[in-house]
Amino acid sequence: MTQLDQQVARRLTRFYVLALTVIAVLSLSGLLFIRRTLSDHYDDSRVVNVAGRQRMLSQRLTKLALLRTTEIPATDTASFAALLNTWNQSHRQLRDGMLRMEKEYLVRKSRRIDQMLTQLEPVFESMYRNLVRINTASTTPEQKKAALQTVLRAEPLFLEQMNAIVFRFDQESFERVRALEQIEWVLTVATLLILLIEGLLIFRPVVNHTKDVIRKLTESDEALRQSNAQLNVANTDLENANRQLVITQRELLWATEEKYRLQIAEENSRSAGLLEGQEEERRRFARELHDGIGQMLTGLKLHAEKLKAVPFPEPKHRERFEELCTLIYDVIQTTRQTSHNLMPSVLSDFGLGAALQLLAEQTTRSSGIPVSYEGETEGKRLTPAQEIGLYRIAQEALNNAIKHAEAQQITISWHRDGTQTTLTVEDDGKGFTQKAGPKKDRPPLPTNGLRNMHTRARLLNGELTITSKRKKGTNVTVYSTDTRNA
């Protein structure tokens, strides 16, 4: 751009900004005048309404005073005291120049209205005092009649003067609106003149300059089209490359997800096989304990029972023999308990509910901690895998509560709702904070047991949640679905 073009551009810019500024100032001034006048007119209308209401209230109060003095029954249920108070407050607010209703309204009064309100004041005070006297319970009937006569004499004068005040308020409000109209006409004419000057001194030079710019733009348009054609070819190639890249990313994502699903399936299969092998080994070892060592210990007990009839040379030998018999009995009971813990026969014979109830009773006897069972003991059976899985979770949770929780009460509950089963082991022990690291004065958390419980719950297509707070106890809950009936 040459120096002349720069000078013309700066001059046109100054003119244009100046013209727009003047137009904006005129427009904003008109808007402000209109908003202010509308607000004032709204206040004036409320003032006129309140002034007109004063006439109605004076007539209504006079009627009520007449009915009250003559003791004629009236259907008007309005409170005489409330109407009198409203009439008094409105009069004084009109006189003071500020109405206080839902908000404050300014009473714009001229000197003439102030004079009219001053002339009205004695009439109002006379009516108000006598109306108050009529409303007072201690006033005698003769005093009420005298007060009523005063009110009836003052009411026509009050209405006449109040009517003149209302019309005066309305007239002054109308005069302010007409003054606004004149100001609005002045602003409109000034705005039109500014627009005309802008069109002659700014718009036409701008149009000529724009024509020159458009000509130059037209000359460079062809070169731009050629560049765009080349860019379109490049964009097409880039889109094809991006499309191929997206396809490759999708295939890679699918392959990764498939690999992850296979890993999960393999892990579940490995875990299921490992747990199944553990359970099978437990069954075999439980049978060995029961059928092998258990039978041998039972035979040993029977032989010992036969030896009780044999006389002993010394009482000390008899005492040792009794201790030996007691030890044999304890070993038999321990062997049976161990065999039952490895694979309880009641689980396969009577189901999960009976096995959990027996587990609670045996744990109470062995540990001395009260363990209660709530739930079903008979009914439709679950699958063997579900029953042994839920039983092992309950057994592990109960073992953790006894070893680590220092609980005073443990509750095992198992409920079914259709295909949904819920197993809960809850204690009132010291609990633990799952996110905190182990401390020296606190035993380590049974992480292996928790991991085993989560694995068993996952293999049952269920969900295991552990809720625990320090000194608030621990709650272990398993939600599982009977896929056989789902």
Which tens digit of pLDDT belongs to each residue from 216-237?
A: 777 777 888 888 888 888 888 8
Distance between CA atoms of 164 and 236, rounded to whole angstroms? Answer: 86
Distance between CA atoms of 250 and 335, rounded to whole angstroms? Answer: 60
Tell me the average pLDDT across 151-155: 89
Contact call for residues 410 and 398 (beta carbons, < 8 A): yes
User: Computed over its alpha carbons, how large is the radius of gyration of the chain?
Assistant: 51
pLDDT at 252 over 70: yes
Q: What is the pLDDT of residue 179?
A: 78
Read off the pLDDT band of 441 (50, 70, 90). Answer: very low
pLDDT tens for 339-352 read: 566 667 667 777 88
Distance between CA atoms of 103 and 46, rounded to whole angstroms? Answer: 11
Q: What is the pLDDT of residue 424?
A: 92
pLDDT at 423 over 70: yes
What is the residue-averaged pLDDT of the chain? Answer: 78
Lowest-confidence region among 78-82, 179-183, 372-376: 179-183
What 177-184 contacts at long range (C-beta under 8 Å, 24+ apart), as own/partner pairs, is: 177/37, 177/41, 180/33, 180/34, 180/37, 183/33, 184/30, 184/33, 184/34
Cβ neighbors of 401 (< 8 A, separation 6 or more) are 407, 410, 425, 427, 429, 474
Read off the pLDDT band of 248 (50, 70, 90). Answer: confident
Q: What is the pLDDT of residue 477?
A: 92
Which backbone phi and psi does 475 adopt, to 5 degrees? -130, 120
Note the helical H segments in 101-203. 111-135, 141-198
End-to-end Cα spacing for the chain: 81
pLDDT at 440 over 50: no
Q: Which of 136, 171, 131, 168 is nearest to 151 (CA)?
A: 131
% the chain with pLDDT above 70 = 75
- Secondary structure of residue 109 in the 3-state scheme: coil
pTM assigned to the model: 0.39
pLDDT tens for 11-29 read: 667 766 776 787 777 777 7
pLDDT at 146 over 50: yes
Contact call for residues 163 and 13 (beta carbons, < 8 A): no
Distance between CA atoms of 171 and 474, rounded to whole angstroms? Answer: 83
pLDDT at 154 over 80: yes
Q: Which of 416, 10, 341 is nearest to 1 (CA)?
A: 10
pLDDT tens for 294-336 read: 667 677 767 666 666 677 777 777 777 777 777 776 777 666 6
Tell me the average pLDDT across 126-151: 88
Please report where in the chains the tokens 């002339």 appear, as a residue: 119
Read off the pLDDT band of 281 (50, 70, 90). Answer: low
% the chain with pLDDT above 90 = 2
pLDDT at 442 over 50: no
Distance between CA atoms of 460 and 479, rounded to whole angstroms? Answer: 9
Q: What is the pLDDT of residue 473?
A: 85
Distance between CA atoms of 382 and 445, rounded to whole angstroms? Answer: 31
Q: Look at 262 and 274; give whichever has higher pLDDT.
A: 262
Q: Which of 457, 455, 434, 453 is nearest to 444 (CA)?
A: 434
Q: What is the pLDDT of residue 383?
A: 80
pLDDT at 486 over 70: no
Please report where in the chains the tokens 């000529």 appear, as a residue: 208
pLDDT tens for 92-111 read: 888 888 888 878 888 888 88
Read off the pLDDT band of 437 (50, 70, 90). Answer: very low
Read off the pLDDT band of 435 (50, 70, 90). Answer: low
Q: Which helix (H) or strand (E) holds 360?
A: helix 352-367
Cβ neighbors of 420 (< 8 A, separation 6 or more) are 479, 480, 481, 482
pLDDT at 406 over 60: yes
Read off the pLDDT band of 275 (50, 70, 90). Answer: low
Task: Give the β-pairing of 473-481 and 98-100.
Answer: unpaired
Q: Which of 142, 145, 144, 125 is nearest to 134 (CA)?
A: 144
pLDDT at 461 over 50: yes
Read off the pLDDT band of 411 (50, 70, 90). Answer: very high
Distances (CA, A) of 184 to 44, 179, 188, 229, 279: 20, 9, 6, 57, 98
Cβ neighbors of 217 (< 8 A, separation 6 or more) are none
